[in-house]
Amino acid sequence: MFNEVKDTPVIILNGFDSEEINKIMKAIKNVDGLPRIIFATTTKTNVNWKIGDLINELKQEDFEVKKALKKALNEKIKDD
């Protein structure tokens, strides 16, 4: 499991409200030289998961979001 997730930069936040989360994410995203990071918060569903399972789920969600954005961008380019 470790090899599947070791190269996936993830920050998991717990105990912050939405405003604090936005500030944290903005501050971290403004640091030069960091890789692209997947941000997540704990939920009632994922709080009891094994960390490797959570990171794998986040990787999959990130892949799906990037795929959907790419599709939307391609459709916009076709429309223009």
Domain count, the chain: 1
Sign of the dihedral through C-alpha 44, 48, 53, 55: positive
Please tell me the distance from the alpha carbon of residue 36 to that of residue 23, in angstroms, as a whole number: 17
What percentage of the chain carries pLDDT values higher than 90?
81
Please tell me the distance from the alpha carbon of residue 4 to that of residue 72, in angstroms, as a whole number: 29
What range defines the domain where residue 19 resides? 2-79
Structure tokens at 22: 């936005």
Strand segments (E) across the chain: 10-13, 38-41
Mean per-residue pLDDT for 73-78? Answer: 85
Res 33 pLDDT > 90 = yes
- Count CB-CB contacts under 10 A for residue 54: 20
